[in-house]
Chain A
Amino acid sequence: MNFDLSEEQQMIVDSVAKFVANDSPVERFRKLRDSERGWDPEVWKRMGEFGWLGVAYPEEQGGFGGDFVDLALILEQLGKGLVPEPLLPSVVLAGGLISRLGTEAQVKAFLEPMVEGETSLALAYAERQSRYCLSDCLTTAEREDGSDLFTLNGEKTWVLNGAFADQIVVVARTEGQPQDERGLSLFIVDGNAARLTRTVVRGMDGHRTGLLNFDGVQVSADRLLGAQGEALSHLEWAMDRGAAAACAEGQGQIQELFDHSVAYLKERKQFGVPIGSFQALQHRAADMFAEVELCKSTMILAAILVDSEDPEERMAEISAAKLQLSDGGWFVQKNAIQLLGGIGVTDEQDEGLLFKRLRVLQGLFGDADHHVERFQTREGFDAHLRVP
């Protein structure tokens, strides 16, 4: 076992941290949250030039052949500055699926331009009724006999970066009943396709999502991603990466909130002394510290195991990490606000922005209850009973 950063990883961390400090402190996000799209295509392009958008893809796909840990380290640093560019939907979710399932032509057409920062991507999976159930998909894709075209009908909600993405990977049912595990397929749909209506929805965290309406959108068969009807296990894989990425980005916010709290405990005086000299608050801080360290531990674990080909262990550890992000993270974030007193609920303070983004990440890719349920319904939960 060794959890030290390699030299290259340390270099990545240092360069991203430097970028956040110099070019993208929370101030930049503050300005962008009122802009139309919420992020800046010029900065996205620079991220492409830095190589951040391609770290985790193989070299033959225009990537740098790194692993998910490298990407997680980038996300963690970007999370500290609330950098709003869409790495999560574009690089982790949609890009991850194209890299995994795409034909050479699809990779060339859709992944490589994104890696260079020319375009951005999104993954449309959630629907009004679906909550976290991936197979609960009412959107359909039908193909007339002998036709080269699929026709998509349905609606997708809360699509991260969905309103502005150049290409959107859309989950649609090509056969079976709603909630059937078989019959889901992925399509790479042009963001500007005819009969696709995109409504911009502004999120609590200042990011934009898309409400997408497919009203007979036609997609040619060469935009089918992966085998028809077999998308579910790949989607689960992508959601696990999303969860691991949420843990990584969220770690940035958790650490930041905690560091702010400790600094404020030392600096703020009441009753003639620093409030950090009150034992009630010292103990609160110690408990927050414990949760921060556990979050950090599970975040590393999730990032390492996301590439594991043993789905049982992967799912168990990622669920444990996501639960820690939700429960442990929540303990840190709510107390970070409490310890600030009144200014903790002013929009002027960065803490509130960190707080909101963290809550969004906690609700994506399965909340705490969802992951506890998944953990206890998996086979291994009972398999342990072999041991007396």
Chain B
Amino acid sequence: MDMTLSPQHLEFRDELVTWIAAAMPPEMKRRADAGAEFGPEDGMAWQKILYEKGWAAPAWPVECGGTGWDVTQRHIFTEELMRANAPQLSPFGLGMVGPLLVQYGSEEQKQRFLPKILSGDEIWCQGYSEPNAGSDLASLQLRAEKDGDDYILNGQKTWTTYAQYADWIFILCRTGSEGKKQEGISFLLVDIRNTPGITVKPFLTTGGTYAFSETWFENARVPQSNRVGPEDGGWSMAKALLGHERTLIGGVAESLRWLQFAKRIARDTPVGTGRLLDDSGFRRRIARAEMRLRAITMAQNRTLAAAQLGRAPGAESSILKLVGTELLQQATELCMDAMGHDALGWLDSPPEALPEHERSVASQWNYLRAATIYGGSNEIQRNVISKDILGLPTR
């Protein structure tokens, strides 16, 4: 057994750290160092910079614009970006529909879509959930009826993250009503900006941002050539895509960032004659969370080591979303608690009332309640573990 990163990987890490620090524009770097929260526009700007370097989508095949890095290098890359508090890139194109097209797209689809996903010239969003199809996704009802070479779409999607910034949306829709509910579903690519009949209505989240939308389709016309995979074969596309969604789902690097942030706030918070960080009660709470993070990190490293050897992730990978998101939420709770009265502040509190880097803590603490809901809620994760891994009986 061997825990250590190879010298090549260590060298790679050092080079990355240097590059990231130098590549960020000064204002972005200043905000990153201050621990500020970035919005989707910042993510797009950062994607351009990564794209110029050839690093926008490390996991893609080299011929499609990937880097050819191994699993560990890709992991280090993600981790270092998080550590540097770089803006996060929208995952829907680079991490979801892109890899799906690489795997199942037609030659035309690949040529049409992949380059612009990579460059960030076209932004994507994900249209799966509907008002009556959340965890039970296969009960979705948005209808696609054939008309000549097109489909006509009618229905509604919801919780569509950042639909208002998107140029394209990938959706699951109902093309057949025979058989099991998983069977009549197709996977379509839709021009969300220019297709008549589509309305996007952003929602205000509890985090105070318009992070997701309702998306309405009323006689919206989409060419059949925009279907990925066979008609009525969309469910297997969705499942394939889920596989791409799983990487790094434990949120280890993100939790680490929040825990360090909590310590930093505690260090800067006077209590009596000392600082909150001197308070052993508070230190123990942070310590417990950090110790848990070490355990989760090791579980993730086991998964990673298996992937590096070209093996399917083991059973331990199925717990990462579950335990990782719960710790992530706990880490944001520690930040809130460290802030004391400052936690009353909000996104637009003036700097003389609330330091810039603390301004989005309350917002994120609210928003990240979603971490245990999206990506398959944690209850659904428990169902999957108990059925698929433990083989417990269904009723």
Contact = CB atoms under 8 A, between A and B. Distances in A.
A388 B257 CA distance: 9
Contacts of B8: none
Interface stretch (A104-112, A184-192, A293-301, A341-349): A293-301
A131 interface: no
B309 A376 contact: no
A388 B264 contact: yes
B220 interface: no
B177 interface: no
Given A1-B4, A384-B260, A283 B394 contact: no
Contact of A283 (B72, B263, B306, B382): B382
Interface string B75-94: 00000000101000000000
A378 to B, nearest CB: 10
B393 A305 contact: no
A1 B263 contact: no
Interface string A1-44: 11111100100000000000000000000000000000000000
Interface string A254-284: 0000000010011000000110110101110
A265 B392 contact: yes
Contact of A294 (B1, B33, B299): B299
A286 B305 contact: no
Contacts of B387: 282
B299 A297 contact: yes
B390 A1 contact: no
Given A69-B1, A277-B395, A382-B277, A287 B382 contact: yes
Interface string B128-144: 00000000000000000
Task: Tell me the dominant secondary structure on chain A's binding face.
Answer: helix
Contacts of A301: 3, 294, 298
Contact of B305 (A3, A5, A373, A387): A3
Contacts of B395: 273, 277
Contact of A323 (B3, B291, B296, B298): B291
B383 interface: yes
Nearest to B304: A1
A132 interface: no
A293 B390 CA distance: 13
Given A4-B309, A282-B386, A376 B295 contact: no
Contacts of A69: 1
Contact of B392 (A285, A294, A316): A285
A277 B323 contact: no
Given A2-B309, A277-B394, A282-B392, A290 B319 contact: yes
Interface string B294-322: 11101101101110110000011001001
A90 to B, nearest CB: 25
A284 to B, nearest CB: 9
Interface stretch (B38-46, B115-123, B280-288): B280-288
A285 B323 contact: no
Interface in B253-274: 260, 263-264, 267
A300 B386 contact: no
B55 to A, nearest CB: 22
Contacts of A281: 392
B391 A266 contact: yes
Interface in B371-395: 379, 381-383, 385-387, 389-395
B393 A285 contact: no
A6 B296 CA distance: 24
B337 interface: no
Contact of B308 (A1, A290, A388): A1
A330 interface: no
B392 A276 contact: yes
Nearest to B284: A372
B390 A277 contact: no
Contacts of B72: 1
B202 interface: no
A324 B301 contact: no
A64 interface: no
Contact of A277 (B4, B264, B389, B393): B393
A281 B296 CA distance: 24
A283 to B, nearest CB: 4
A293 B297 CA distance: 12
Contact of A376 (B283, B315, B382, B392): B283
A118 B390 CA distance: 44
Nearest to A386: B260
B33 A388 contact: yes
Given A282-B382, A289-B319, A294-B296, A1 B2 contact: yes
A304 interface: yes
B386 A283 contact: yes
A376 B280 contact: yes
Contacts of A1: 2-5, 72, 301, 304-305, 308
B392 A266 contact: yes
Contact of B288 (A274, A328, A372, A384): A372
A298 B260 contact: no
B290 interface: yes
B340 to A, nearest CB: 19
B394 A375 contact: no
A3 B302 contact: yes
A298 B392 CA distance: 26
A290 B299 CA distance: 10
A3 B392 contact: no
B31 to A, nearest CB: 11
A320 interface: yes
Nearest to B5: A1
A335 interface: no
B99 interface: no
Contact of A296 (B284, B288, B291, B316): B316
Nearest to A70: B1
A298 B292 CA distance: 10
Interface string A75-114: 0000000000000000000000000000000000000000
Q: Which 10 A-B pairs have the closest CB atoms?
A: A282-B386, A286-B382, A376-B287, A297-B298, A286-B385, A320-B291, A290-B319, A320-B294, A276-B392, A297-B299
24 contacts: A1-B4, A1-B5, A2-B1, A3-B305, A3-B306, A4-B1, A266-B393, A279-B383, A283-B382, A285-B385, A286-B381, A286-B390, A289-B315, A290-B319, A293-B315, A293-B319, A294-B295, A316-B294, A320-B292, A323-B291, A324-B291, A372-B287, A385-B260, A387-B260
Interface of A: 1-6, 9, 69, 262, 265-266, 273-274, 276-277, 279, 281-283, 285-287, 289-290, 293-294, 296-298, 300-301, 304-305, 316-317, 319-321, 323-324, 328, 371-373, 375-376, 381-382, 384-385, 387-388
Given A3-B305, A293-B316, A294-B296, 12 more contacts: A1-B3, A2-B305, A3-B2, A6-B1, A69-B1, A286-B322, A289-B385, A294-B323, A297-B301, A298-B294, A323-B288, A385-B260
